[in-house]
Amino acid sequence: MYHLITGLYKQITRKDEYNVLILGLDNAGKSTFLETAKTRFTKNYKGMNLNYITTTVGLNIGQIEIAGIRLSFWDLGGQKELQSLWDKYYDESHAVIYVIDSNDRERMNESKELFDKMIKNEYLSGVPLLILANKQDLEDCMGVRDIKPVFQQHGHLIGRRDCLTIPTSGLTGEGVNEAIMWLVEALKRNSIVRPPKTLD
């Protein structure tokens, strides 16, 4: 009887864990997006002041538990010297969030080249892809209508995976809830192809 109850308890309380990469150029707003998401989805979490978030050097990790699953975010630094390390995380990831600074027209082509290089990697084949047109709170930023065609020029690289491009602002929280909820559903749909880790 004890083993039956213990087994049932483990079955009820176990969680599936998905690893989500957050990629993009430095200063795109990756860490701000993650901090805002943690604040929105983690009960009693007192987030840090978003104005004091600095550029990530290396790796920033965050977790959210939602809809019976755990999302483990790996926010990787976007500086040139750190981009070469990204592919070390690809084979363990279940989804990618690619963050674009919608206000940085000067580096849009650089971000696009980095995106294309990342999406070509075989270890990311088929994983859900969430593209954030971030910093929509800034007055002269590019909208999704401007950004989406640029990043989907090579649609064959994106393939038939779940993919969504949405406007966001890590500072104001615009689009953050929608992004996380879409991600949860996409991960569940893709779990047959790339199963989650099971946590007791």
24 labeled binding residue? yes
Q: Is the per-residue pLDDT at 6 higher than 80?
A: no
11 catalytic? Reply is no
Among 79, 83, 152, 153, the one annotated catalytic: 79
Q: What is the pLDDT of residues 130-186, one digit of tens each?
A: 999 999 999 999 999 999 988 888 778 888 899 999 999 999 999 999 999 999 999
User: How deeply is 106 buried, as exposed, middle or buried, from its count of CB atoms within 10 A (0-12, 13-18, 19+)?
Assistant: exposed
Report DSSP state, residue 175: T
What secondary structure does DSSP assign to 8-56, as a single string? HHHHHH-EEEEEEEEE-STTSSHHHHHHHHHHHHSTT--PPPGGG----
What is the per-residue pLDDT for 2?
A: 52
Q: Give the three-state DSSP class for 127.
A: coil
140 labeled binding residue? no
What is the per-residue pLDDT for 93?
A: 96
43 labeled binding residue? no
What is the per-residue pLDDT for 153?
A: 82
- At residue 15, φ and ψ (nearest 5 deg) are -130, 145
Question: Structure tokens of 95?
Answer: 């989804």
30 labeled binding residue? yes
Question: Structure tokens of 43?
Answer: 């009960």
User: How deeply is 88 buried, as exposed, middle or buried, from its count of CB atoms within 10 A (0-12, 13-18, 19+)?
Assistant: exposed
What domains lie within the chain, and their CATH numbers? 16-199 (3.40.50.300)
- When pLDDT is cut at 50, 70 and 90, the band that residue 10 belongs to is low
Q: What is the pLDDT of residues 52-82, one digit of tens each?
A: 666 776 688 999 999 889 999 999 998 988 8
Report DSSP state, residue 76: E
Token look-up 């997006």 returns 33
Q: What is the pLDDT of residues 19-32, one digit of tens each?
A: 999 999 999 999 99
67 labeled binding residue? no
58 labeled binding residue? no
Pairing of strands 197-199, 15-23: antiparallel
